[in-house]
Amino acid sequence: MKRTRRLVTVSHSYVVALNRRLANEMARVGGEAWDVTAIAPRAFHGDLSALSLQREAHEAARLEDVRAFFSRSLHLFVFGPELRAHLSRGVDLVHSWEEPYVLAGMEVALLTPRRVPLVFSTAQNLSKRYPPPFSLTERFVVERAAGWMAWGETVRETLLGRPGYAARPSRAIPMGVALESFQPDRASGEDFLRELGWDPFGPPVVGYLGRFVPEKGLPLLMEALDTLQTPWRALFVGGGPMEEGLRGWAATHGDRVRVVTGVPHAGVPRALNAMDVLCAPSQTTPRWKEQFGRMLVEAFACGVPVLGSDSGEVPHTLGDAGLVLPESSPAAWSEALATLLESPSRRRELSERGRERAATRFAWPVVARAHLDFFTEVLERR
């Protein structure tokens, strides 16, 4: 009988309970073969406000907290020295969900005993030149690691060309989606439409979900809708600096546009179920391209057809379950929307494909199993 392997996974993101889904799912999927401990900061500054560690009852993974210092900067923050003890007590493998070029990533690599394999996860899909000390930090972490995981195919393709990465085992493993929360529920979607003052049986709803920023393609989508002759309504859910301009544009279209802000993640399934199609017209810039597109797989899980641009990871995320369109052609988007809105049968076909892709590729148990399989491969190589 094989002994239970002890996995420790470290991430500042684990301060939020929702982000520990990976750790908890690895513990569930691993069963008696894996003992999983998640290391999280007791508090972290966060993007918008200070965060305190959220604990939930009945988590499958063991949760341990440590201090975090300088957490206003993702590049400069470090964990408290008590992290060392958590990484050295009979651990078989350490997983670092910190970028290899940040100081916390180097700290995890330094504090992991040499006999213990280290695997890190990264979402960097641009080949950047980091100034010291970050360039030295990346080199050290890569050389120390026994393997690495990319949050997408474009991430892996990009990093394989950087020094040291190709010499170590790697896998492209996507983020997951909670199928128990994101699922088709037309009734809740119709209620959402009524709350907006819309008739649930009116023209099809073109949806957008995400940040209101230019790189997410809002100008392109607005231009495509301006020229769309097929009857439509548009629902924009999110928030950001383009909100005022978006509302100004919406006013020119009278009652057929709604802009909704302040929707918590728990409320996203209702919003998605109010849409007949989701658009993700992400735009590549010199400093950014789409890394994954969580809204894409959440829409898949809800049975909502998806149109996405050819920016970054979007084509890999969509596969053959969505429509990939040029990120720089409003005319192509307008034409594709017209075709889809006029064909309920085509929408049903894409809905079925999306749900199948969500279940077979992006469901959290599938993602967790892919992680554990890679960890097993790394251990067996050693």
In the prediction, which pLDDT does 344 show?
A: 95
Domains 5-175+363-381 and 186-362 share a fold: yes
The listed CATH number (3.40.50.720, 3.40.50.300, 3.40.50.2000, 3.30.750.24) that belongs to domain 186-362: 3.40.50.2000
In the prediction, which pLDDT does 48 show?
A: 60
Model confidence pLDDT, tens digit, residues 161-175: 999 999 999 999 999
Model confidence pLDDT, tens digit, residues 229-268: 999 999 999 999 999 999 999 999 999 999 999 999 899 9
- Superfamily for domain range 5-175+363-381: Glycogen Phosphorylase B; (3.40.50.2000)
Model confidence pLDDT, tens digit, residues 195-236: 999 999 999 999 999 999 999 999 999 999 999 999 999 999
Res. 1: pLDDT tops 60:
no
In the prediction, which pLDDT does 291 show?
A: 84
Res. 120: pLDDT tops 70:
yes
Domain segments of the chain as ranges = 5-175+363-381, 186-362
Read off the pTM: 0.91
Average pLDDT over every residue of 68-73: 90
- What lies within 8 Å, CB to CB, of 335 at 6+ separation is none
CA distance 343 to 275: 15
Model confidence pLDDT, tens digit, residues 101-118: 999 999 999 999 999 999
Res. 75: pLDDT tops 60:
yes
**Are 332 and 326 spatial neighbours (Cβ–Cβ below 8 Å)?**
yes
Model confidence pLDDT, tens digit, residues 291-342: 888 899 999 999 999 999 999 999 999 999 999 999 989 999 999 999 999 9
Mean model confidence pLDDT for the chain: 94
In the prediction, which pLDDT does 130 show?
A: 86
